[in-house]
Amino acid sequence: MARRRGFGELERRTGPTGPSYRARYAMPDGSRHSRNFRTKMDAEAWLARERSLIDRDEWTPPKSRKVAEARREREQAISTVQKYAERYVAERGLRPTTVRGYEALLATRILPYFGAMPLRDVTLSEIKTWRRSLDPKTASSNAAAYRLLRSILQAAEEEELIDRAPPKIRGASSAPVKQEVIPATFDEITAIVDEMPERLKLLIVLAAFVGLREGELLELRRSDVDGVTGRINVARKVDKDANPAVRGACPECGRHISTPKTRSGIRTVHVPPPFLPMLQSHLLEHAAEGPRGLLFPGDRTDHMSARYLMDRYRPAREKAGRPDLTIHHLRHTALTIAGQHGATGAELQARAGHASQAAMAIYQHATLDRDKALAEKIGDTYAKWASNRSEQA
């Protein structure tokens, strides 16, 4: 039974867990507000606080106060750049390698300056001061750190934790190119292939003439390759330096296997015809057995390590006089060769597995038939070069 008081009323209730008290009151506008308590003392104290708020003209509906209080607690929990940045990285479903990269940028560049700073205090002026404090010798990492900081602040704006992210600083997201990549010549590629172990010669060819990434090459399997047509389906890659404990790790070797970053990374490309005998020989002699067998297995038929590859590639490129040429530069070489043989922008995008807004508008023109024809043109040029080289020798 409810018992009336000077302000509000109390009602004692009996339930499975024992007695409880319901405190309630009405406002002049007819709205009614109530709350349940375990003890009578707590219920009376609540009514007293509500009455005090009304007397001081500070009263707002209890439900709206509860929402505001929850938001204040949430803001307090992520009030600083460090707290919010940690949640930002943890909740976005990022790839393991991306998480590692972000954590490194936070630890070495962003948090030493902004870590304890409240989100709302990160202004354009503070960001400019921070950028001036960074080592100019690490321009690429500085630009990556700025992009990450801006993404964090934009996410905070979307969650209404800050009113507005500071304006973008023109040019801060990119770094000047330190050195232009010089594509390898046929002579240089041939010299490298000649110096590589038999089991790795095809890897260099696929990097330098087809344009596959290192991670894509190390995850290629027999079922991805047609030895007759030279057709290669690219659908997966090995993530270098990923934590082997994360979901998606290879059960045999522990390395993390994932799909390419974008839908365009999943693609079909063709090996130039002059290299089909090498591909077929490799499938017979060096690929692991079975449809799931790796094209370039390690010593135990599991994934080859990047270190194992580089220990053999490094002296080969030195012998060819190109100590600057990385595996990724071989991919750059492949795309340069494709461009020299008439590949359109869309065809280069398709062959490389890149995606951009501009490329997507014409992407439908890059068909498999055109990629095969492009591979044949590259093959014809290589065959003529090889024939002339043989005659001169």
Tell me the average confidence (pLDDT) per consecutive run of 10 residues in the chain, 393 residues long.
72 87 90 91 91 90 79 66 92 85 95 92 95 92 95 91 90 75 92 96 96 94 95 89 48 69 80 96 95 90 88 96 94 89 80 58 51 90 91 81
- How far is 230 from 292, CA to CA, in rounded Å? 18
Angle at 78 between CA 138 and CA 120, to 5 degrees: 70
pLDDT at 71: 67
Residues 97 and 204 in one domain: no
* 113 and 56 within one domain: no
CB 33 within 8 A of CB 54: no
- Structural domain harbouring 17: 2-73
Catalytic residue among 100, 231, 354, 370: 354
Q: In terms of domains, do 127 and 252 share one?
A: no
Q: How many CB atoms lie within 10 A of CB 171?
A: 10
| Domain final residue pick, 73, 90, 114 | 73
Of 158, 176, 194, which residue is a domain's last?
Answer: 158
Measured distance CA(211)–CA(332) in Å, rounded: 7
57 and 94 belong to one structural domain: no
Number of domains in the chain: 3
The reply to whether 286 belongs to the active site is: no
Query: Active-site residue 56, yes or no?
Result: no
Say whether both 69 and 212 belong to one domain: no
Exactly one of 13, 65, 292, 328 is catalytic; name it.
328
Active site residue 231: no
Residue from 109, 331, 332, 351 carrying the catalytic annotation: 331
63 plus 94 within the same structural domain: no
Question: What are φ and ψ of residue 301, in 5° steps?
Answer: 65, 5
- What is the rounded CA–CA span in Å between residue 362 and residue 282? 36
354 labelled catalytic: yes
pLDDT at 321: 95
| Domain identity same for 332 and 222 | yes
How high is the pLDDT of residue 102?
95
In a domain, 173, yes or no: no
Active-site residue flag, 363: yes
Which of 22, 231, 308, 363 is the catalytic position?
Answer: 363
